[in-house]
Structure 1
Amino acid sequence: MAFRDLTVLLGVVTIVIMLIIPLPTGIIDFLIIINISLALLIILVAMNTKEALQFSIFPTLLLLVTLFRLGLNVSTTRAILGNHGDAGNVIETFGDFVVGGNALVGFVIFIILVVIQFIVITKGAERVSEVGARFTLDAMPGKQMSIDADLNAGMISDTEAKERRKKIEQEADFYGSMDGASKFVKGDAIAGIVIVLMNIIFGLVIGMMQEGLPLGAAADKYTLLTVGDGLVSQIPALLVSTATGIIVTRAASEGNLGHDVTRQLFAYPKMLYVAGITIFLLGAVTPIEWPIPTLVAIMLCAGGYFMGRQEHKPQEDDNAEERQAEEEEFRSPESVVSLISVDPVEFEFGYGLIPLADANQGGDLLDRVVMIRRQLAIELGMVVPVIRIRDNIQLKPGEYVIKVKGNEVARGELLLDHYMAMSPGEEDSQVTGIDTIEPAFGLPALWISEEVKEQAEYAGYTVVDPPSVVSTHLTEVIKRYAHELLGRGEAKQLVEHLRKSYSALVEDVTPEPLGLGDIQKVLSRLLREKVPVRNLPVIFETLADYGQMTKDTDLLTEYVRQSLSRQISSQFTEAGQPMFVVTLSGSAEKMISDAVQQTEHGNFLALSPEQSQDFVEQTMKEMERMQQGGHAPVILCSPAVRMYVRHLIERYMPHIPVLSYNELEPEVEVQSTGVVKGS
């Protein structure tokens, strides 16, 4: 155990000893000086802290110091009343010095000290502690919401958010503890008054009845000792009470109390002139002797002159520089740059949906957005940009809009006091509500009330609350537009993350033979067809192998898809289950391959409008037939035409996956449900 820890334990044991065992006067003198020194140290530390949490042990320390002082009071009372007035040199010296031969005057001075501590310092510190605790606890939800907003906006990291939350919890614990600890200060002041009265009353009784002293002698003797004992107890108590008030009234700043007082109190040198003139007039027009007011007035005016001389020029320079900077900023073209910025993803909602984002009203939208970004990082392998959340008074109260790069891509409307219920296929007449469309997948649904919720769940309906509806919709929208959200900055972030573990692999790919833009295009094309890019090592190995052969990003994407065959196979099939697909006939594939035109800018498909329309119509019919059979639609074709088939149907069926035979694992069982024939 460290020496400092052992010292604290010995201090607590000493307090117990003082309460039980009579101590020699020499040890009492030593402990009195320790008490005064400890109180002085506490107030000095309190004055030099920048914020309350820097002295977070203060509530516990306040309790220990109060207990130590009460134990010392017990020891000194025992010495005063039990040793015929022999309470040690310190108490006698304090009493004699203050009393000065007049017991009544000394007693009055002591009473004044007690009144100052009890009525002014202790009462005020108790009230401030109580108010500080209440306001700190009331402000916690708003602070937590601010942290969540900063975290969601990307302004702080997860580590910084945890540190801020921990600090808020510590502040709440500290001010709550201070509220309770201030009650000990008040109790200590009351106990001090009671102990003084008991010392005087029983001192007179002992002096007159046991020592045979006359009333005057007994009063002089025990009043002196009582005042001395009260002073050595009340002076440290006054210092600790003052420290309590300083701690709970101290706002966080860049300097200590002395720095703040001198900087802020003398921030206006002209006020020193006003104070100096007022003091001079006080000495001139009243019977007060003029030398002292005049001297103080000269000191105030001189201080105002010198401080104004020192601060005036720097302030003028600062103001001039500030004005010049503002003018240059206003005139510069960059002054409007902030007005044209576009957020990658925006979520705007009407005022009726504010409870979704307000933590004070139980809203957890900010937490859900954080979880959405984490979920998509796992599923897609990319870092989703910051999602801006704001209210929009132009929307209907329950309406919300999702924007990608400033353009609206989705819209929905919620009823906060209802639940969304989606039918399992068989309608239940007892489940009634407001007809609506589930926004994420476009399924028919109902808004049902709380009373119908249990019946709907019993009937097999899928019942979700409004926050879950929004979260699902936002997640699906981001998945749909993930390829647009992966820009060069996000691609560079992924490359740098991969470089930490596979530096040699990254060096084989970029900057030669492929630039960052080429890599971004490949990753974007994968995301466009819902292929996650989380397996970056495999993607970069493929780019390293084929990047020397071609710079065509479409072709490189096809090679990468084939390398990810295991991932793609598991994405569209379940273990042990066959894959149901629609295939292309030989004539259809030949028609497409013959229509491929090669140019210096890449290859493109040059089908006639009639051929394209006929192919799309046949494909749509086969997809509808496949869906009616209860299977998820998938198109399977040869590697040579997969990319062109995808381009051909993308405008009409963007969500239909198109796979090639090389993208399936050998063990995958394929069953064709239809064939698209060429014209």
Structure 2
Amino acid sequence: MNSLRLPAWINGVNSKALAAPILIVMMLGMMILPLPAFALDILFSFNIALSVIVLLTSLYTVKPLDFMVFPTVLLVSTMLRLSLNVASTRVVLTEGHTGPDAAGKVIEAFGHFLIGGNYTVGIVVFIILTIINFTVVTKGAGRIAEVGARFALDAMPGKQMAIDADLNAGLIGEQDARRRRTEVAQEAEFYGAMDGASKYVRGDAVAGIMVTVINIVGGLIVGMIQHDLDFGGALKNYTLLAIGDGLVAQIPSLIISIAAGVVVSRVASEQDIGGQLINQLLAKPQVLSITAGIIGGMGIIPGMPHIAFVLLAGALGGSAYLLAKRQKQQQAAPAKEPAAAVAAPEVEEATWQDVLPVDTLGLEVGYRLIPLVDKSQDGELLRRIKGIRKKFAQEVGFLSPAVHIRDNLELRPAAYRIILKGVEVGSGEAMPGHFLAINPGVVNGQLPGVPTTDPAFGLPAVWIDAAMRDQAQAMGYTVVDAGTVIATHLNHLITSNAADLLGRQEVQQLLDHLGKEAPKLVEDLVPKLLPLSSLQKVLQNLLSEGVHIRDMRTIIECLSEYAPHQQDPNELTALVRVALGRAIVQQIFPGTNELSVMTLDRNLERILMQAMNASGPDGAGIEPGLADTIVMRAEQAVRQQEQMGLTPVLLVPAPLRALLSRFLRRSLPQLKVLSHAELPDSKTIKVTSLVGGQA
């Protein structure tokens, strides 16, 4: 036998998702279709149960966002009560002449048990409940929701800025920041929705009064005209039914209103309402003792109900005594066990989480420089650092690691230091609100201020007030602000240490980027012909001498040509330099065809060739006397070039280039060493200085 199967679209629907549509259809059905008295009893009971569930849920919530659906619950519960009013009104007017149980047992119970069958008492009780709900509870909750919505919206930008500041400072992660931003937005939306939802309850109270009056008037007309009842009988029947109907709807409405007031009036805490009431209202024995004394004094006044007041005073006094005794025991407990009080906290076992990675590139600042790097204060240095990384990527050819910025209270207030892989590579001081006037060597006067040295290039400088900026520029000084000083220093160190910033990950990212345009070119080289480590070494060799690696296509093509026959990174670097010769010369001599260079004395060149052949390419066999002479003569030639306003470039034979570049780089970092093979044929060479030596 084939089993009964539901359609596939029904099986795919979540059962919880069907609750809301079913409830809406049910409310529409109550408004349109006539309901029997038993169905009304079930629905009125459900309405009361729903209101109690909502009230208890609001009491046990810790923060408003734990009950985010509450504004929607207000709308649904209000519409449910109005739908029941419509359904019960239809039954009251059509069957009210038959007796007080015409609209069901629930309405009859509220009409007889709660008000004793006296419709006058029922009217008074109904009016009082409506006034309490409309004037006190609903009005107060609506005002609190309105103010809460306004404050939540006003505080939203500040909370967002605080989250961004914690994220930039590394106190939270991206996931935590996203969660907190969502909570801030939800809080603002919740209070805004509560401001509007409170109007539902106010309208429900007004509608309850109007429906009750209409039921009474309509019942009199129907009973006297259509069913020939006398005025007294019609008034009694229909008034009891109308008042019972109104009370059945008004009591759940009052409960829902109280729940709304509880939700919007509570202050965020880690406890629910019950815990807050017990811990804060009944936490002080002095308060309970004084209250017990006042109540007991009222109880002994002649004419007062002595038993009630004296019993309550005794209960309060006993509670105060027990509470005071408990607090004394808690205070005495540490004194009895001094060893436990002073015991050192247990140290957690070390884990791999305690091993923190070292930032590749970092900037630490003193507290006076924090405004320059604080995003919430529109720190200008943050924008400059972004510009530095963008310019570096465009010029050098790869994206440098992000600069991790943090404050360091161990530094002087205006000091900063730049960290490379956990090691300090540069430091200096910057005075916020002042300007650094740098002397380029052609100034025509002195400036009052704090003498110092430009941290990036070591030029003499002075910190001056902002009012002297124009005067300093007129005297020939280069004037920059504190943020520019730090940014320039950082840019200089990033550029000069580019080889150390190029790690395996950056090399792989370079290959991935090039592989999008020329995938076959990359696949044929790495790892088929050359391992990634060798490619990294070649690129680092180029960067260590200031050669940009933007033209990765030429570098890869050159390595693909020579890698099958040569695997030494230094030899491959020399071959790549020849392939990049035009770019290298263009980088050193932009916009000119005449290259002003220095060359070696012929005798010195011959001696170096012999020494290299004897000791190998590393030049370890060069005599110390000869090495000192080469350095001294090279320094003289470099000064001569700089005095003529020329870039110091030493042109040597190809076998000597790598040797002299490594040898002279430490003492003369500004000197560029080129080989004859690296010069394009279209360039003209002009020898301006000769580096000579003695054997």
Question: Smaller-chain TM-score range?
Answer: 0.5 to 0.7
Q: How does 1:163-242 map to 2 (within 5 A)?
A: 169-200=181-212, 219-230=239-250
User: Which of residues 391, 395, 409 is equivalent to 1:393?
Assistant: 409
Query: 619-628 vs 202-211, which deviates more?
Result: 202-211
Trace 1:83-482 onto structure 2 (pairs within 5 A): 95-96=107-108, 98-99=110-111, 102-103=114-115, 107=126, 114=133, 118=138, 137-150=157-170, 161=174, 169-200=181-212, 219-230=239-250, 338=355, 343-363=359-379, 365=381, 369=385, 372-385=388-401, 387-422=403-438, 427=443, 433-453=449-469, 462-482=478-498
* CA distance in 2: counterparts of 1:586 and 1:568, whole angstroms: 25
Q: Determine the structure 2 residue equivalent to 1:533.
A: 549
Name the TM-score, length of structure 1 as normaliser: 0.65
Higher mean alpha-carbon deviation, 181-190 vs 450-459, is at 450-459
Could you tell me whether the CA contact under 8 Å between 2:138 and 2:261 is conserved in 1?
no
Q: Which residue of 2 aligns with 1:503?
A: 523
Q: How far does the alpha carbon of each residue in 1:344-375 deviate from its partner, in whole angstroms, 9 at most, with x for none?
A: 44433323323333334443656655554454
Larger Rg: 2
| Alpha-carbon distance in structure 1 between the residues aligned to 2:146 and 2:443 | 65
Could you tell me which of 612, 634, 656 is aligned with 1:641?
656
Name the structure 1 match of 2:537.
521
Q: Residues 87-115 of structure 1, C-alpha deviation per residue, up to 9 Å, x if partnerless? A: 99999886446445645578499669949
What is residue 568 of structure 1 aligned with on the other side?
584
Q: Relative to 1, partners in 2 of residues 1:508 and 1:82: Cα closer, same or farther, differing over 3 Å? A: closer
Q: Is the 8 A contact 1:79 1:85 kept in 2?
A: no
The one-letter code of the counterpart of 2:482 is P
Q: Say whether residues 1:626 and 2:673 are aligned partners.
A: no
Matches within 5 A, 1:547-626: 547-575=563-591, 578-598=594-614, 602-604=617-619, 606-626=621-641
Indicate conservation of the 8 Å contact 1:349/1:390, yes or no.
Answer: yes
Q: Which amino acid aligns with 1:179?
A: Y
Query: How many Å apart are 1:564 and its aligned residue?
Result: 1.8
Partner secondary structure for residue 590 of structure 2: coil
RMSD: 5.7
Aligned residues: 572
Match of 1:677 in 2: 692
Q: Distance in 2 between matches of 1:55 and 1:664?
A: 75
Q: Distance in 2 between matches of 1:464 and 1:578?
A: 34
Q: CA deviation at 1:491?
A: 4.9
CA distance in structure 2 between the partners assigned to 1:242 and 1:222 by the alignment? 30
Per the alignment, do residues 456 and 65 of structure 1 end up closer, same or farther by CA in structure 2, a change over 3 Å counting? Answer: farther
Match of 2:10 in 1: none
Give the secondary-structure state (helix, strand or coil) at the position aligned to 2:355: helix
- Deviation for aligned residue 1:572: 1.9
1:9-20 equivalence runs, <5 A: none
How far the C-alpha of 1:421 sits from its partner, in A, is 3.9
Shift of 1:560: 1.4
Structure 2 vs 1, CA of residues 91 and 494 (structure 1 numbering), >3 Å: closer, same or farther? farther
Distance between the aligned counterparts of 2:468 and 2:207, measured in 1?
A: 70
Aligned residue identity for 1:613: D
Structure 2 distance, partners of 1:584, 1:65, is 90
Q: What are the Cα deviations for residues 444-476 of structure 1, in whole angstroms up to 9, with x where unaligned?
A: 344333434466678886543322321221221
Note if contact 1:91-1:228 (Cα within 8 Å) is conserved in structure 2: no
Query: C-alpha distance in 1, partners of 2:67/2:529?
Result: 55
For 1:480, give the aligned amino acid.
S
Cα distance in 1 between the residues matched to 2:469 and 2:377: 22
Shift in CA distance, 521/360, structure 1 to aligned 2, threshold 3 Å? same
Question: 1:124 deviation in Å?
Answer: 7.8
For the structure 1 residues 647 and 236, does the alpha-carbon distance in structure 2 shift closer, same or farther, using more than 3 Å as the test? same
Deviation at residue 625 of structure 1 after TM alignment: 2.6
Contact 2:103–2:241, Cα closer than 8 Å, also in 1: no
Q: Which of the numbers 668, 674, 684 marks the counterpart of 1:659?
A: 674
More displaced 10-residue stretch of structure 1: 615-624 or 200-209: 200-209
Identity %: 27
User: In 2, Cα distance between the equivalents of 1:525 and 1:55?
Assistant: 62
| Rounded Cα–Cα distance in structure 2 between residues aligned with 1:114 and 1:529 | 83
Structure 1: stretches of 5+ with no match in the other structure: 252-256, 262-324
